[in-house]
Structure 1
Amino acid sequence: MTEKGLVLVVEDERSIADLVRLYLQRDGFGCHIEHDGLAGIAAAQRLRPVACILDISLPGIDGTEICRRLRAAGDWTPVIFLTARDDEVDRIVGLELGADDYVTKPFSPRELVARLKAVLRRSGTTTEPDRSRALGGVHLDPSTRVVTVDGTPVVLTATEFDLLSHLMTRPGRVFSREELLSAVWGYASHAGTRTVDVHVAQVRGKLGEAGTIIRTVRGVGYAAG
């Protein structure tokens, strides 16, 4: 059964790749596996998967370079990074490249599939009311998932869009990092709050001067407006 779409997995450790394939197929996803970076980028461009799960360390080119090339080509297919390295630099670099999530080895295959489904929900159609939101020159349309600043479109990842949308839903309301992790990522107990800080910085950067609509409330979290 592949009714949920094809997922590209680029992982050089064959036992891990096979385990991920097993759990994806159990959940109704198709799975195509490559074991090196150059084959991975070619497969991503050829197969147009619904999502990519990329190991950071790969022969040829690494997972971050695959993501970089996809984004440079205007391909915003959701990306989840896998890595054995758990330091903050890797995490920030990965997210700045436009990745949607980041999982550190060893990991639970069930959790990986759950995160994949959460990312796909964020990148797909939304079930929230089709009420456009506007604040400080930023216009957000949940029905089309389009953000503009003074009429100019801004490209956000699915996660960045949902973070901005959540903040703009209740202007002035201060959300803690833990609340944002739970509402946007859906697995607060498994993610570090630094993830929120990195995504907020990315959204602000993409909004340019209008990024000041997102306020930092020291010791608490963030608010829009």
Structure 2
Amino acid sequence: MKDLFGKAILDYQLGNYTEDIKTETSISEEDDLPLPYLFRGYDEMPAIEKRAMDLSKGRVLDVGCGAGSHSLYLQNEKHLDVLSIDISEGAVKASGMRGLKNVRLQNVMELEGEKFDTILLLMNGAGMCGRLKKISAFLLKLKTLLNEGGQVLMDSSDIVYMFDRDDDGGYWIPTDMDYYGEVDYYVRYKGEEEPPIDWMYIDYDTLANAAQANGFNSELILEGDHYDYLARLTTA
């Protein structure tokens, strides 16, 4: 991986901001992801992220911390003990430069021997398991990292609206798709392109069913303006 996300985040942190990240999926056209948005404060966060910040408690694991904006708020404003992890070396470096006290280059699936009261998976954090067939292993891993009474706060979107409707009002989903929320995700930055990664948007009902099958209770905390939502998972 070229770590284009990390390169872009580090560029912004170092004052070398000249262009935004470009993203595209197998079912959507290219779009810009403005770098300043990754450095937003609490007041600039959407309602779903603000609610997640408000609900966070105890020792927190921020999975896929990116530029560290959520972790910095929890560390500096709520004075929580936060471990921030990401698989992007550039993001980890930039987050440390921004003042995160405990940030680590780490894949959550390989994290061992630590427990948390809150696990955060924001900016479609539920999608990082890539494919629906991997959701059970992903959720079971998160369970091993939770203290008794702990919670997982994750957001995602139901992207069924992106598909055409038939005359009966149903959605026309291609038959070669295992699950309509699975996409190939492309990132481009400054003339370079990453190989596509497996990514997933998971609707709440599918997440809730997977959660129940793997020993979690699920709660729909908040729905956003565009098919997005915040869910809380707790151990059953």
For Structure 1 versus Structure 2, the TM-score category normalised by the shorter chain is 0.3 to 0.5
TM-score, with normalisation over the residues of structure 1? Answer: 0.34
Q: TM-score, normalised by structure 2?
A: 0.33
More strand, by proportion: 2
Q: Which has the higher helix share?
A: 1
* Higher RCO (C-alpha under 8 Å, 6+ residues apart): 2
